[in-house]
Amino acid sequence: MEAVVSLNSGSSSIKFALFTLGPDGPQHAAVGKLEGIGTAPHLVARDANEVILVDRGWDNGAALTHEALLHDLFAWAGDHLPDHDIVAAGHRVVHGGTEFFRPLCVDDALLAALDALCPLAPLHQPHNLAAIRAIRTLAPELPQVACFDTGFHHELPEVSTRFGLPRALHDKGIRRYGFHGLSYEYIARALREADPVLASGRVIAAHLGNGASLCAMRDGLSMDTAMGFTALDGLLMGTRCGTIDPGAVLHLQTQEGMTAPAVEALLYKQSGLLGVSGISSDMRALHMSDDPHAAEAIELFAWRAAREASALILSLGGIDGIVFTAGIGENDSVIRSAICERLAWLGIAIDAQANTRNAPVISMADSEIIVRVIPTDEERMIAIHTLAALVPAGDAS
């Protein structure tokens, strides 16, 4: 049975999913995560019925690289899913710059061009590309497809792509791109199936995970988004600061004597929920804490999300619905209701019971805005794109 593997490779984890190719599109065969890379690697994978297929660690695993662990993952798939013939690997690649937006088969020239974009996504892009290189070594003949997180925002209206910087810098690529595109593209498709009328209207999708952003969609297309040039922009996140006065960044360097790498570490890894609470980047841990700083971080998260949403509503000229997704968006009824309370001026009325159940629709029947929860599936979107990219031009019919 032919199968496609989707990979989302980060600094210390690799999320993956194996899909078989059925007449109704890709079907989950296994989904899992390799965590703790560099410290204590751990692999868990489940089948489509949530049955655990593998749950293992490695003795003295701290020295194992992404490549070594991917080797073990492929070996495990070969041993335990022998009737699955992997015909392609698809990858989430965070940044495609201005040049790359459609999913593309990877070759040497593309890899070199994507390497050049690493400074635009220093914490993500190198790891995305490392996984591609590792699989090239392990399985040189296996076709690989790069799927860009910026791609969904490729046709943003010109006004939402510009900073107030000199034109020459915009033309050099210092502009707003937007991220979480694979998630938003999946949400747009899923919403069209669940609620075609809302999908054709004005919707704010809220991807609230460790990384968090919003996307303003009209008729399923991105009109504006909370992240801009890098994945630092917009909402408060697990460890990232979100939008900050650029003057503060200059001040850190000129007055606090911080080097550029120290500022980078501060803004990407030590800020956000972690920095404000001083406790954790994990929303569940903050809910469990009775420290007032945890409550302050939660309040800031919700306020910033509602404030950004209000700005994006302007880009849509109004709003018909909100869709929550990702770890916090799908599971955290307290945060959803805190955000919606701040948007009550829109005529949102939340059904508290439906919200607590993480139901597909959490707004009251008479709410002026429909509020939905849709679990995202970036890996499925990668698999769909990977299959499409493998079809030679002209065979698409």
Q: Site residues (CB under 6 A) for ligand ADP? A: 209-211, 238, 282-284, 326-328, 331-332
End-to-end CA distance of the chain: 23
User: What single-letter DSSP state applies at residue 392?
Assistant: P
Q: Are the CB atoms for 65 and 71 separated by under 8 Å?
A: no
User: What single-letter DSSP state applies at residue 160?
Assistant: G
Closer CB to ligand ADP, 90 or 329, in the complex:
329
Q: How far is the CB of 138 from ligand ADP (least distance, A)?
A: 25
Q: Pull the structure tokens for residue 269.
A: 């890894």
Closer CB to ligand ADP, 104 or 324, in the complex:
324
Determine how many CB atoms are found less than 10 A away from the CB of residue 218. 17
Q: How far is the CB of 140 from ligand ADP (least distance, A)?
A: 30
Q: Which residue has the tokens 């029947």?
A: 365
Measure CA 343 to chain center: 24
Q: How far is the CB of 328 from ligand ADP (least distance, A)?
A: 4
**Distance between CA atoms of 340 and 71, rounded to whole angstroms?**
45
Q: How far is the CB of 113 from ligand ADP (least distance, A)?
A: 26
Q: Residue 203: helix, strand or coil by DSSP?
A: strand
Q: How far is the CB of 367 from ligand ADP (least distance, A)?
A: 23
Q: Pull the structure tokens for residue 378.
A: 């970036």
Closer CB to ligand ADP, 237 or 383, in the complex:
237
Rounded to 5 degrees, φ, ψ at 47 are: -90, -170
Q: Which residue has the tokens 């992997």?
A: 86
- In sequence order, the β-bridge partners of residue 339 are none
Closer CB to ligand ADP, 104 or 286, in the complex:
286
Please enumerate in sequence order all residues whose Cβ is within 8 A of that of 61, keeping only pairs 6 or more positions apart, or say none.
36, 40, 41
Please enumerate in sequence order all residues whose Cβ is within 8 A of that of 390, keeping only pairs 6 or more positions apart, or say none.
87, 88, 105, 143, 145
Closer CB to ligand ADP, 283 or 302, in the complex:
283
Q: How far is the CB of 176 from ligand ADP (least distance, A)?
A: 21
DSSP for 247-312 reads HHHHHHHHTS---HHHHHHHHHHS-HHHHHHSS-S-HHHHHH---HHHHHHHHHHHHHHHHHHHHH
Of these residues, 59, 149, 219, 233, which one is catalytic? Answer: 149
Active-site annotation holds for 149: yes
Closer CB to ligand ADP, 41 or 327, in the complex:
327
Determine how many CB atoms are found less than 10 A away from the CB of residue 184. 31
Q: How far is the CB of 172 from ligand ADP (least distance, A)?
A: 29
**Distance between CA atoms of 135 and 144, rounded to whole angstroms?**
8
User: What single-letter DSSP state applies at residue 361?
Assistant: B
Closer CB to ligand ADP, 84 or 92, in the complex:
92
Residue nearest to ligand ADP (CB): 327
- Which amino acid appears at position 12 of this protein? S
Closer CB to ligand ADP, 139 or 359, in the complex:
359
So which residues are the catalytic ones?
149
